[in-house]
Amino acid sequence: MTGVVMTFRKFRQQCLAALLMLVTLPVWAANIAGVDFQFALLNSESGRAAAQEPQAQVRLMEQRLAEEKQSLQNDINEFQRNELTLSVDEANQQKQQLAQREQQLRNMAASMQRQAQKMEQDLLKQLQPAGEAALKALIAERQLDLVLSRQAAVFANETVDITQALMQKLNETN
């Protein structure tokens, strides 16, 4: 499945917010962690289980798309073999039909990509409450002062990454 796409503007805003928070942190705020929340959600046991159905649907869409591509390619090959035996009008008509089918195929691929992204977003929405609860428990256990998205950090030592711990916490609660 494709990743959730973050716009550049939103990413830039998050980076600036994280930088401002880091600059304004008091010296005593030493318990900082980074987490890849989405990765933890999707790779937890409950996330993998919940993703099975959407992944099966995506595989079916990919299979259908591949079949349509192959069918179109076969028709293009057949047209190329027979092109010299067709009248100019027939050749132009078939070229136009093939071009329309190519456009329909591109539209189908784009539509399937949007569907896959929607399924991933819906899955993340479904998993988010449990993820937030597990993260809050982890924050309390480790007495963290600040948790940053791993994507927002320019650099972070591996020791501050709590993604694996979050996945373990999610697995314990399910």
Amino acid found at 44: S
75-130: per-residue pLDDT in tens? Answer: 999 999 999 999 999 999 999 999 999 999 999 999 999 999 999 999 999 999 99
Q: How confident is the model at residue 173 (pLDDT cuts 50, 70, 90)?
A: confident
- Residue 9 exposed, middle or buried by CB count within 10 Å (0-12, 13-18, 19+): exposed
- pTM for the structure as a whole: 0.68
Amino acid found at 116: A
Residue spans per domain, the chain: 24-173
Rounded Cα–Cα distance for residues 144 and 107 (Å): 47
E-strand ranges in 9-165 read: 32-35, 146-149
